[in-house]
Amino acid sequence: MSARETPAGCRFELVYHPTLFFREIQTAAVKSTAILLISCPDQKGLVAAIADFLYRHNGNILHADQHQDSELGLFLMRIEWDLSGFSLDIARFGAHFAAVADRFQMAWRLALSNQRPRVVIFVSKYDHCLIDLLYRHQSGELACDISLIISNHEENRRLAEFYGVPYHYLPLAKENKAEVEQTQQTLLAQHGIDLIVLARYMQVLSAEFTAGYPQRIINIHHSFLPAFLGAKPYHRAFERGVKLIGATSHYVTEILDDGPIIEQDVIRISHRDALEDLIHKGRDLEKIVLSRAVRWHVENRILLYANKTVIFD
């Protein structure tokens, strides 16, 4: 807050309100584009057919990226175009694109950049990933709406209140796990949730819960998977005397820590690092790796196949 004098001697104040400021940034950054994600058998003419379809409907291509898996004979593509002047009613896109899709045996999905996915964050006591996600969301880096936070602890309520996100405390024990998961599912349905982010949520989701949200749950694991699965990976890394530690963000499946990997990063350590040093360094990695994965998901940059992910630029 600062005070100024007008030429007439009248005093006025300039008030900086971070929420309003970031909301203006987000509003200004909104664009109107469509994103098409495609996977199909690799064959000649694919790119030409897709580009020609968009050209015939006055689509201005902004980004295009592709990948071929030669061993599986698979073609994957992400293409984004400006909807300004696009002559085809986007609601009728599928009906018109069907001829091209059928010809090349395509599995495809269409997304719109101005449709922000609704996200829920699950968290326990550790707050570093939650803080990072909330800040990046407020600053406009994550093109989504964080609709609520669900936790089995009360520690992070004040943080949620600071950012204006509803906070639901659901204490969890072995005896009430099924009941709590049912309450969680009810909340997700009420808020129309598109993506679940496990920001160091220190509970294992049931297979029944996970099956209800395929490729819609992202977890951060404090290890460079597939090394050190499960609990306390930093302790086991310290005992093993490793020289690198890492963090892994992945989609959640019914098999613990085995879902398709979205992002990983590492940091070097030495014999001088105590267990506490590993934990502190690892937490820096965790929040960065998780935020990247969430951003790529909400921007529709990920295609999955054969328990792998392709991340398009």
Could you tell me what percent of the chain has a pLDDT over 90?
A: 74
Query: In this predicted structure, what is the pLDDT of residue 228?
Result: 67
Query: In this predicted structure, what is the pLDDT of residue 23?
Result: 47
Which H or E element spans position 284?
helix 275-298
What the block records as the tokens of 195 is 């993506």
Degrees, nearest 5: CA angle 157-253-258: 105
Which residues in the chain belong to E strands, given as ranges? 2-5, 11-14, 33-41, 60-69, 74-82, 107-112, 118-123, 145-151, 167-169, 195-198, 217-221, 244-251, 261-268, 302-305, 308-311
Distance CA 164, CA 158 (A): 10
Q: What superfamily in CATH does domain 118-311 come from? A: Formyl transferase, N-terminal domain (3.40.50.170)
- Among left, alpha and beta (phi > 0; psi -120 to 50; other), residue 200 is left
Alpha helices in 6-150 (DSSP H): 18-29, 46-56, 93-103, 128-138
Query: In this predicted structure, what is the pLDDT of residue 281?
Result: 87
Count other Cβ atoms within 10 Å, centred on residue 240: 9
| Domain pair 33-112 / 118-311, same fold | no
Compute φ and ψ for 263, nearest 5 degrees.
-150, 150
- Which of the residues are catalytic? 257
Cβ distance 217 to 210 under 8 Å? yes
Cβ distance 204 to 256 under 8 Å? yes
Q: Which pTM does this prediction carry?
A: 0.86
Q: Which residues pair with 197 in a beta bridge?
A: 121, 218
Query: In this predicted structure, what is the pLDDT of residue 10?
Result: 44
CATH topology of domain 33-112: Alpha-Beta Plaits (3.30.70)
Query: In this predicted structure, what is the pLDDT of residue 297?
Result: 98
Query: In this predicted structure, what is the pLDDT of residue 2?
Result: 41
Count other Cβ atoms within 10 Å, centred on residue 86: 18
Query: In this predicted structure, what is the pLDDT of residue 18?
Result: 43
Long-range residue pairs from 231-238, CB within 8 A, at least 24 positions apart, any chain: 234/275, 234/278, 234/279, 234/282, 235/275, 237/278, 238/274, 238/275, 238/278
Query: In this predicted structure, what is the pLDDT of residue 30?
Result: 59
What are the sequence ranges of the domains in the chain?
33-112, 118-311
pLDDT in tens, the chain (313 residues): 444 444 444 443 433 344 444 444 444 455 799 999 999 999 999 999 999 999 999 999 999 999 999 999 999 999 999 999 999 999 999 999 999 999 999 999 999 999 999 999 999 999 999 999 999 999 999 999 999 999 999 999 999 999 999 999 999 998 999 999 999 999 999 999 999 999 999 999 999 999 999 999 999 988 877 676 777 787 887 888 888 888 999 999 998 888 999 999 999 988 888 888 888 888 999 999 999 999 999 999 999 999 999 999 8
Q: Which residues pair with 66 in a beta bridge?
A: 77
Distance CA 67, CA 75 (A): 6
What the block records as the tokens of 295 is 């951003």
